[in-house]
Amino acid sequence: MVTILLKPTKWSPKKNRHKKNREPMLQYLIKRILLFIPTLLVITLISFCISRLAPGDPAALKAGVGSEGAMSSSGGLNEKIIEMVRKQWHLDKPIWQQYVIWTGGLMGMDFASVYEKENADWSKFKFTGKPDFGTSFQDNRPVFEKMIERVPITLSMNLIAVILAYIIAVPLGIYSATHQDSLFDRVSTFMLFAMYSLPVFWVGTMAVTFLCNYEYLSIFPSTGIRATDFSDNWTFWQKLTDYAAHLTLPIIIYTYGSFAFISRQMRSAMLETVRQDYIRTARAKGLSERVVIYKHALRNSLIPVITLLAGILPSLIGGSVIVETIFSIPGMGELSFKALVARDYPMIMAVFTISAVMTLAGILISDILYSFADPRIAFSKKNS
Lowest model confidence (mean pLDDT) among 25-39, 198-212, 275-289: 25-39
**pLDDT reading at 165 higher than 50:** yes
Domain boundaries, the chain: 143-383
Q: Give the residue-averaged pLDDT of 260-279.
A: 86
- Helix/strand/coil for 127: strand
Q: What is the pLDDT of residues 112-146, one digit of tens each?
A: 777 777 677 677 777 777 777 778 878 888 888 88
Distance CA 193, CA 21 (A): 42
- Cα-based distances in Å from 31 to 25, 27, 280, 381: 10, 6, 39, 12
Question: What is the secondary structure of 177-197 as a DSSP string?
Answer: HHTTTSHHHHHHHHHHHHHHH
Q: What is the pLDDT of residues 289-340, one digit of tens each?
A: 888 888 888 888 888 888 887 777 776 665 578 888 888 888 888 888 888 8
Choosing among 1.10.3720.10, 3.30.559.10, 1.10.3080.10, 3.30.70.60, the CATH entry for 143-383 is 1.10.3720.10
**pLDDT reading at 14 higher than 50:** no
What lies within 8 Å, CB to CB, of 161 at 6+ separation is 251, 254, 255, 258, 316
pLDDT recorded at residue 63: 64
Task: Give the model's confidence band at 72: pLDDT under 50 very low, under 70 low, under 90 confident, else very high.
Answer: very low
Distance CA 116, CA 112 (A): 6
Task: Return the H-helix or E-strand segment holding 228.
Answer: none
pLDDT recorded at residue 315: 65
Q: For a pLDDT cut of 90, what percent of the chain falls above it? A: 0
Length in residues, the chain: 384
What lies within 8 Å, CB to CB, of 297 at 6+ separation is 270, 273, 274, 279
Distance CA 357, CA 43 (A): 10
pTM reported for the whole predicted model: 0.72
pLDDT recorded at residue 380: 45
What lies within 8 Å, CB to CB, of 230 at 6+ separation is 239, 242
